[in-house]
């Protein structure tokens, strides 16, 4: 069996920055969901992206959940959500007993279509919040989306789980909305094995999110809880890994960009291939290099050919409005997200890949056009 090539696996720093902070947690016996690593990871991440405050949490999903709660979303409220995303974007809407309405994508960005969003505001004038996703590290068309949210006085939450290190008009994604979230799951551009971060310029709301995330424990000598709480705080050990990973974020973004450029150079000459879109206002992190296949060679053909050679690849996300659990909820748009799912494939984008690995992947794909 040939050596496995992963889609996107954890990549610890060659300098072992992570171990320094993890060892510090052990040496000080702060093996708990609080400690200096947690405090500093929050500060360092906030400083990195240019946000005033951050709360380190157990997952990006937890961050979305608390963002919705902080935005006042509750039972029966309407929340607009992109249909082309992972279910973790939509699930917290249900946690809050709210109602998701799914919005189509556009081909220009692969993200939430501003035109469809505008139509949704007409159909649902009482919407409570909008969640926008920066899919695969591509920024959404934020100017138009922000303008619509301001016009309708609606809270905007950015799911930047896949886009840490991506810039929109020179500003980090995740910092345009009222709240932004990042994920440090094992497959993300930097990882803590599991974890997430909620960021905002509203320091009071972030403090409240930390309170909720720590079981809403009141300031009292005894255990007292005046609100419903959650066990969402990040471990001090995990935060140590995050601090070390943050030091190599730019290196990881550079490698992801290199991988995308390599694929584009090698495969663009093949018939009926289109790579993920580029816009002049976007500096993507290219978390996963993705393309659509519009001819006789289908995504499944490529995935099966790669799989035979022990190489991991994935389809584009299946839209939420096509998912068995979510199909009962409304969808606004046409068929763009469905076409992207039908024709799309995510190529292996692991930052540990060598040129030989990339050449191996490209050779297999090219062989399908012979």
Residues 160, 129: Cα–Cα separation, whole Å? 16
Task: Please tell me the distance from the alpha carbon of residue 146 to that of residue 88, in angstroms, as a whole number.
Answer: 22
Residue 34's nearest CA partner among 198, 42, 228 is 42
Return the structure tokens found at 164.
């840490």
Does residue 289 sit in the same domain as residue 228?
Answer: no
What is the C-alpha to C-alpha distance for residues 331 and 120, in angstroms, rounded to an integer? 9
CATH of the domain at 309: 3.90.1150.10
Using alpha carbons only, how large is the chain's radius of gyration in Å?
21
CATH number at residue 212: 3.40.640.10
For position 1, what pLDDT does the model report? Answer: 74
Asked if 154 and 265 sit in the same domain, the reply is no
- pLDDT for 108 equals 98
Helices (H), the chain: 17-27, 36-49, 60-70, 87-95, 114-123, 142-151, 203-213, 236-246, 249-267, 299-308, 336-343, 355-367
Q: Quick one: 217 and 253 in the same domain?
A: no
Q: Are residues 46 and 26 in the same domain?
A: yes
Instruction: Write down the pLDDT at residue 32.
Output: 85
Is 160 in the same domain as 145?
A: yes
Q: Do residues 341 and 316 touch, judged by C-beta distance below 8 A?
A: yes
Name 47's Cβ contacts closer than 8 Å, sequence gap at least 6.
Answer: none
- Residue 34 sits in the same domain as residue 72: yes
pLDDT at 368: 98
Write out the chain's pLDDT in tens, 370 residues. Answer: 789 999 999 999 999 999 999 999 999 999 988 899 999 999 999 999 999 999 999 999 999 999 999 999 999 999 999 999 999 999 999 999 999 999 999 999 999 999 999 999 999 999 999 999 999 999 999 999 999 999 999 999 999 999 999 999 999 999 999 999 999 999 999 999 999 999 999 999 999 999 999 999 999 889 999 999 999 999 999 999 999 999 999 999 999 999 999 999 999 999 999 999 999 999 999 999 999 999 999 999 999 999 999 999 999 999 999 999 999 999 999 999 999 999 999 999 999 999 999 999 999 999 999 8
Q: pTM, whole model, 2 decimals? A: 0.97
Domain annotation covers residue 2: no
- Quick one: which H or E segment has residue 56? strand 53-57
| Whether residue 260 sits in one domain with residue 186 | no
* Domain coverage including residue 277: 249-367
Specify whether 236 is located in the same domain as 117. yes
In a domain, residue 12? The reply is no
Do both 254 and 242 map to the same domain? no
In a domain? residue 99: yes
In the three-class reduction of DSSP (H, G, I as helix; E, B as strand; rest coil), residue 322 is classed as helix
Single out the residue of 161, 200, 155, 192 nearest to residue 55, CA to CA: 200
Number of separate domains in the chain: 2
Residues 284 and 166: beta-carbon distance below 8 Å? yes
Q: Which of 246, 263, 290 is the last residue of a domain?
A: 246
Residue 321 inside a domain? The answer is yes
Same domain, 203 and 310: no
Residues 237, 275 share a domain: no
> Can you give the pLDDT at residue 247?
98
| pLDDT for residue 202 | 98
Q: Is residue 238 part of a domain?
A: yes
Same domain? 108 vs 81: yes
Do residues 282 and 340 lie in contact, with contact meaning Cβ atoms separated by under 8 Å?
A: no
11 within some domain: no
| Closest among 107, 122, 111, 57 to 81, alpha carbons compared | 111
In a domain, 9, yes or no: no
Strands 290-293 and 273-275, bridge-based pairing? antiparallel
Q: Residue 86's closest CA among 348, 307, 341?
A: 341
Domain final residue, candidates 200, 215, 246: 246
Token representation of residue 160:
């930047």
234 Cβ contact list (under 8 Å, min separation 6) = 33, 38, 41, 56, 57, 58, 192, 195, 196, 242
| Domain termination residue (choose one: 222, 246, 270) | 246
Residue 257 lies in a domain: yes
pLDDT of residue 165: 98
């Amino acid at each position: 069996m040939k050596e496995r090539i992963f889609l996107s696996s954890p990549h610890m720093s060659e300098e072992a920055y992570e171990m320094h902070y993890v060892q510090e947690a052990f040496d000080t016996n702060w093996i708990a969901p609080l400690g200096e690593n947690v405090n500093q990871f929050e500060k360092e991440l906030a400083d990195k992206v240019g946000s005033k405050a951050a709360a380190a949490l157990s997952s990006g999903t937890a961050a979305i959940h608390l963002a919705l709660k902080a935005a006042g979303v509750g039972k029966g409220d309407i929340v607009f959500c992109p249909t082309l995303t992972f279910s973790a974007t939509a699930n917290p809407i249900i946690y809050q007993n709210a109602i998701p309405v799914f919005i189509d994508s556009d081909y220009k960005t692969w993200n939430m279509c501003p035109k469809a969003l505008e139509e949704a505001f007409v159909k649902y004038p009482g919407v409570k919040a909008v969640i926008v996703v920066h899919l695969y590290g591509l920024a959404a068309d934020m100017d138009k989306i922000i303008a619509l949210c301001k016009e309708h006085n609606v809270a905007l939450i950015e799911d930047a789980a896949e886009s840490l290190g991506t810039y929109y008009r020179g500003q980090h994604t995740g910092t345009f909305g009222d709240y932004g979230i990042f994920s440090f799951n094992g497959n993300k551009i930097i990882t803590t094995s599991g974890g997430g971060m909620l960021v905002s310029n509203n320091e009071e709301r972030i403090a409240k999110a930390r309170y909720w995330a720590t079981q809403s424990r009141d300031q009292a000598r005894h255990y007292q809880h005046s609100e419903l709480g959650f066990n969402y705080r990040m471990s001090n050990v995990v935060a140590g890994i995050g601090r070390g990973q943050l030091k190599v974020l730019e290196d990881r973004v550079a490698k992801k960009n290199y991988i995308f450029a390599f694929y584009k150079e090698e495969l663009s000459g093949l018939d009926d291939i289109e790579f993920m879109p580029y816009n002049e206002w976007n500096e993507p992190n290219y978390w996963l290099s993705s393309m659509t296949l519009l001819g006789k060679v289908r995504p499944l053909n490529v995935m099966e050919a790669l799989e035979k050679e022990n190489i991991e690849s994935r389809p584009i996300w299946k839209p939420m409005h096509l998912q068995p659990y979510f199909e009962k909820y409304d969808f606004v748009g046409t068929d763009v997200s469905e076409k992207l799912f039908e024709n799309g494939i995510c190529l292996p984008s692991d930052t540990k890949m060598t040129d030989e690995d990339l050449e191996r992947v490209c050779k297999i794909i090219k062989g399908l056009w012979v």
